[in-house]
Chains A and B, each alone.
Chain A
């Protein structure tokens, strides 16, 4: 668990995470509305060398970006069922890219078993801009992953 004090801090943490990512990695972002999931995704994409503007994929569902490693940025917010997520055909597209999924918790069973879940929470008592960020890895790829080590001293 780590905390950030501003949206730029959330973005910087995403950038730091990008340094350890490789093709095939799946990052599932969950958290309150307005917590900063898209900001975190922007940081990851920036760290992976994406130069295009990364905007919220809520309506487009999937956006793809070229980078040092290609990135696909998804948002399951508007999808109502596991079947709709399966229809996206993620199995065919995760291998060569880094996949970032916002609101992934609505259909975890339709996402690859091996993934890193990053939970971003508002902490209203600590201030409007403060966020608590925790990560839980699933599968061998993430067995030794430690978000606090990535975050470094701040």
Chain B
């Protein structure tokens, strides 16, 4: 039995989790979802590495508590070592290395996107391979062919804005606040997706996507027709995004002979995207895996799961290895 403590601090969330043997999630704590405000007495700024620094020890302690374990039972300590904000990454990496040193156990540095791919195995260890995975969040829109742990090929991605970023900026344009994804998803359910015929950029140009022009189209449409119901704009925008994402995910599946369609990343919580991906899987005779939102957004469990596979393949990461803000996903073609 290998108990891994996984730590994630690459962007907005301070997260930690305890996972046994790469699949058994004993705890999964995300700072923005637990009542750490009281513990630290104040507001939690989202991004500053200072915030991660203030939160990381409390999050780790809570993860161990939730798992009913002590530090002495931890066999491996893992952390995201890239890509991400240098200062933010360093907090998690330094905490993990300090614990590994004190406990005299291996440290494993994990690639953030590889960890997102492992969320699929956390949800279903028996998922049928190959998988076509859409990683879609505020910062990423990636189409990845996965043949197994450590065997990934990125077949497409955004050439400008990520899908989640388009949601947030469109929400701002429509005066809906931040974050934009959930509120647009909710309003879109009441609107007419055919109200505005937004273009589907790059729909027939390979597996890359572009959402910057769509964002601009919403801005211009708003100036032209300020009285159009917001729900109709939301529904039309969301349909354009989802059409594009589903089309390219199916293209990815065809390119790699995928047996299963998989979603990951924060936007994977979008109800329309989940429904359309499930429909597309059924229509093409493929399986579908839609991990629960707690495993889709940034979290520590996926870090521990990826570390379990990396440790078996490559062994521990040297303690003099730092954080790599521009780290690339190791691809096997």
Residues of A within 8 A of B (CB): 7, 32-35, 38-39, 42, 53, 55-56, 58-64, 78-81, 83-84, 87-89, 122, 124, 128
Q: Which of B11, B168, B212, B219 contacts A60 (CB 8 A)?
A: B11
- Which listed residue (A53, A61, A81, A122) contacts B85, Cβ 8 A? A61
A58 touches B47 (CB 8 A): no
Q: How far is the CA of A124 from the CA of B87 in the complex (A)?
A: 41
Tell me if A33 and B169 are in contact (CB < 8 A): yes
- Looking at the assembled complex, report how far the CB atom of B144 sits from the nearest CB atom of chain A, in whole angstroms: 16
Residue of A nearest to B221 (CB): A128
Nearest chain B CB to A141's CB is how many angstroms away?
Answer: 26
Bits for B13-56, please: 1 = Cβ < 8 Å to A, else 0. 00000000000000000000000000000000111111000000
Interchain CB contact under 8 A, B212 and A56: yes
Cβ-defined contact, B325 with A56, below 8 A: no
Q: Which residues of A contact B11 (CB under 8 A)?
A: 59-60
- Shortest beta-carbon distance, A76 to chain B, in Å? 10
Closest to A57 in B: B139
B172: interface (CB < 8 Å):
yes
Nearest 5 CB-CB pairings of A with B: A34-B216, A59-B139, A59-B138, A34-B219, A56-B161
Are A34 and B85 touching (Cβ within 8 A)? no
Interface residues of B in 150-197 (CB under 8 A from A): 157-162, 164-165, 168-169, 172-173
B87 touches A87 (CB 8 A): yes
Q: Which residues from A are CB-within-8-Å of B325?
A: 62, 64
B236 to chain A, nearest CB (A): 16
CB distance from A65 to the nearest CB of B (A): 8
Chain B positions within 8 Å of A55 at CB level: 157-162
Answer yes or no: B62 CB below 8 A from chain A CBs. no
- The minimal Cβ–Cβ distance linking A100 to chain B, given in whole angstroms, is 15
Q: A80-B45, A122-B219 are in contact. Are A59 and B85 (CB under 8 A)?
A: no
Contacts A32-B219, A55-B157, A59-B139 known; 13 new A-B pairs at CB < 8 A: A34-B215, A34-B218, A38-B160, A38-B212, A53-B159, A58-B139, A58-B162, A58-B168, A59-B137, A61-B47, A78-B46, A87-B49, A128-B216
Chain B residues numbered 194-225 whose CB sits less than 8 Å from any CB in chain A: 212-213, 215-216, 218-220, 223-224
Q: Separation in Å of the A120 CB from the closest CB of chain B?
A: 12
Q: How distant is the Cα of A109 from the Cα of B152 in the complex, in angstroms?
A: 43
